[in-house]
Amino acid sequence: MRKVSDTIARLAALRGLQNTHPTSITSADRLSTLGKFGSNPGALQARYYLPADLRNGAPLVVVLHGCTQNAAGYDHHSGWSQLADEAGFALLYPEQQRANNPNLCFNWFLPADTARDYGEVSSIQQMIEAMVVTHGLDRKQIFVTGLSAGGAMAATMLATYPEVFAGGGIIAGLPFGCATTVPEAFDRMRGHGGPSEQELQRLVRKASKHNGEWPRISIWQGSADHTVASANAESIAAQWRGVHKLDQAPTHSTSERGRSRQVWADEAGEAKIEINMIAGMGHGAPIGNGLGTAGPYMLDVGISSTREIARFWGVGDAADSSGAARSRSATPRGETTPSTFQLRAASEEPAKARPAEPPRNDMRGSQAGAVKKAIEDALRAAGLLP
């Protein structure tokens, strides 16, 4: 834990960034609203997108926006619905509400929202179930991705419901379980402290009773990210190497045109974990190469993380002549490198009977005085910003 004086000193600079970006982007809303989908203990909204003539048994991609963002804005800038039209999959966008978090961050570090069958993670799982049942989607091809706080929540979904997901994509996110309080969250984002590699792996195993195949993980990070330290990308990979039984050293690495990539593959040669580090990129999702639109924290660096993540999963290409998308066991083809590297940082399943809810370390009520306010302001200004 950093000293309080250090936290407050950094707050002065961080608060200068507050209100420099729009808090909501609602242009080009292509999404529909999912009505009732369960008990919704996390009090989230659900948005979704279905391409025209979506085939039965299509994949589902769950997309989690970052702080200050909403579902429609993230979809517009990331290009996910554009890719869904091309490749033939459904999209689900859980959406945070200000009553839960004033800055629209998913509460990725609160125990009451990150334990299986509780809070926000339970709401997202209920949305997924409703989408699968209502639209006849393939349970074996469900994926989750997110940016920043959404990336951290994507990691949480993968850990708490690993049997649901075939793969995940974590952009500028954090490992599951690395923080359970506001001060810890702030420190972990800056790359300070945190559980050991062994403890991170234990947290994933403890989060569910899963004993089957584990999701594949694509990790994306900017090397110049001053909001979520790039060390978190390595920590996420370390957390998931345990359940995949992979060596510490990557199977192979590549570096070309500003993108370095480390890949961990199993004995059959299938990539299970990858880290994509974008040189010189700040905090945000990499976009470009004809997909997505630049905006706050949506950075045109000439490469589309949207398309590349989908390819890693095996759902990023248009359906073949039989109309079938590649399955989760298919090996993704090699990545496509951009012709230019331009860094333009355009800066229901019924509710189950449950035990008593775990104590909620709420960031608006768990601490008192100036220290509490300083940490809260820091998180709202930059601590969880996408």
> Can you give the pLDDT at residue 184?
96
Q: Could you give the angle at the alpha carbon of 330 between the alpha carbons of 324 and 334, nearest 5°?
A: 110
Q: Is residue 4 part of a domain?
A: no
Query: Are residues 254 and 228 in contact, defined by beta-carbon separation less than 8 angstroms?
Result: no
Per-residue CA distances from 245 to 156, 216, 275 (Å): 20, 12, 17
pLDDT higher than 60, residue 369: no
From 140, 163, 167, 159, select the one nearest 242 (Cα to Cα): 159
Select the more confidently predicted residue: 341 or 131: 131
Given a contact cutoff of 8 angstroms between Cβ atoms, the answer to whether 294 and 287 are in contact is yes
Output the domain CATH number for residue 205: 3.40.50.1820
In degrees and rounded to multiples of 5, residue 169 shows phi and psi of -135, 115
For residue 370, name the pLDDT band (cuts at 50, 70, 90): very low
Q: Work out whether the CA dihedral 124, 27, 147, 103 comes out positive or negative.
A: negative
The beta strands (E) that lie in 231-386 are given as 252-256, 259-265, 271-278, 285-287, 298-300
Is residue 7 situated within a structural domain? Answer: no
Q: How many percent of the chain have pLDDT more than 70?
A: 75
Does residue 40 sit within a domain? Answer: yes
DSSP 283: S
pLDDT above 90 as % of the chain: 74
Residue 354 domain flag: yes
> Looking at the domain assignment, is residue 2 inside a domain?
no
Q: Which residues pair with 291 in a beta bridge?
A: 288
Which residue's structure tokens are 């997909």?
Answer: 291
Range of the domain at 332: 28-383
pLDDT tens for residues 229-282?
999 999 999 999 999 999 999 999 999 989 999 999 999 999 999 999 999 999
Q: Which residue has the tokens 């979904």?
A: 157
pLDDT tens per residue, range 306-360: 999 999 999 966 333 233 333 333 333 333 323 222 232 333 333 333 434 454 4
pLDDT at 170 over 60: yes
When divided into structural domains, the chain yields a total of 1
CB under 8 Å to 204, separation ≥6 — which residues?
A: 159, 162, 176, 177, 239, 240, 242, 243
pTM over 0.85: no
Q: Look up residue 162 and give its amino acid.
A: P
175 neighbors 228 (Cβ within 8 angstroms)? no
Better pLDDT: 364 or 41: 41
DSSP label of 91: E
Q: For the residues 52-77, what does the mean pLDDT come to?
A: 97
Of 7 and 114, which is predicted with more confidence?
Answer: 114
In three-state form (DSSP H/G/I as H, E/B as E, the rest C), the secondary structure along 210-271 is CCCCCCEEEEEEECCCCCCCCHHHHHHHHHHHHHHCCCCCCCEEEEECCEEEEEEECCCCCE
Give the per-residue pLDDT at 90: 98
The residues annotated as belonging to the active site are 148
**What CA–CA distance (Å, rounded) separates 108 from 114?**
6
Q: What is the dihedral of CA 165, 170, 173, 178, to 10 degrees?
A: 40
Residues in the chain: 386
Calpha distance 108→180 (Å, rounded): 9
- Tell whether 174 is covered by a domain: yes
> Average per-residue pLDDT in the chain?
82
For range 8-35, the mean pLDDT: 55
On the CB side of 211, CA atoms within 13 Å amount to 1
Give the helix, strand, coil percentages of the chain, each rounded to 5.
30, 15, 55
The pLDDT assigned to 28 comes to 78
SS3 320: coil
Structure tokens given for 135: 């639209």
* Within a domain: 137: yes
Give the pLDDT mean for 64-70.
97
Q: Around Cβ 267, how many Cβ atoms within 10 Å?
A: 7
- Above 70 in pLDDT, residue 305? yes
d(CA 40, CA 159): 20
What pLDDT shows up at residue 269? 96
Task: List, in sequence order, every beta strand (DSSP E) within the chain.
Answer: 32-33, 45-49, 60-64, 90-95, 142-147, 167-171, 216-222, 252-256, 259-265, 271-278, 285-287, 298-300
Q: Tell me the mean pLDDT in the region 173-201.
A: 96
Element (H, E) at 125: helix 119-135
Look at residue 74 in the predicted model and tell me its pLDDT.
Answer: 98
* Mean pLDDT score, 206-232: 97
Confidence of residue 19 (pLDDT cuts 50, 70, 90): very low
